[in-house]
Structure 1
Amino acid sequence: MPKTGLLIIILGVIFMKGNRATEEEVWEVLKMMDIYSGRKYFIFGEPWRLITRDLVKENYLEYCQVPNNSPPCYEFLWGPRTHAEASKMKLLEFLAKIHGTNSRSFPFQY
């Protein structure tokens, strides 16, 4: 369950950022939740490994190098399994509920 919650947060960041989010953007959101790369958590272990290896291996996320960037920069996208198992509209409704509003409050994503 904690792994799923973390995944939903990351998928929300990717979706809200236009279907791709840099590694930096994802970690900025996770820092607000007191989740840091390199720190080991009892519930889900080391988050960088969980996100960039386990969730990528399970095809929930894609982790790609952004071309023509110096220094190298990486970004996250929804993986094929997420596209098969999740609905962007349901995710938007969930995010809107968290923010105390409705999905139409996010016209770009709606």
Structure 2
Amino acid sequence: MPKQISSQKTDQSNKAWQAHIKAWGKSGLSGKEYCRQRQLSYHAFIYWKKKLVPRQSAATFFVPVPMPTNLHSGATGSGLKVEVGKRFKIEVHDGFMPRTLARVISVLEEYR
């Protein structure tokens, strides 16, 4: 195969996967779920994600989590605090939304 054709195919794949990685980032889905819904190879997704997305430094980073607007500040009651070394900290208070916690855990699994 001539170099020019090979280069064009690589550029097309690169652009297609850039679009998928961007859409996945906005979707709130885990990588596996995003690929399953779109019938994409999860292994190819991981390859392109590593190639296209700059690595996060070892420093702490934040993952945006949508919060319900009806939370009471200063709510009392017991909760749960989970710390994974110095890397992740999750605080769960009474009245938490299980779906939100599941999404947070799903996102954190992407960074193992």
TM range (shorter): 0.3 to 0.5
TM-score (norm 1): 0.33
Larger Rg: 2
* TM-score, length of structure 2 as denominator length: 0.33
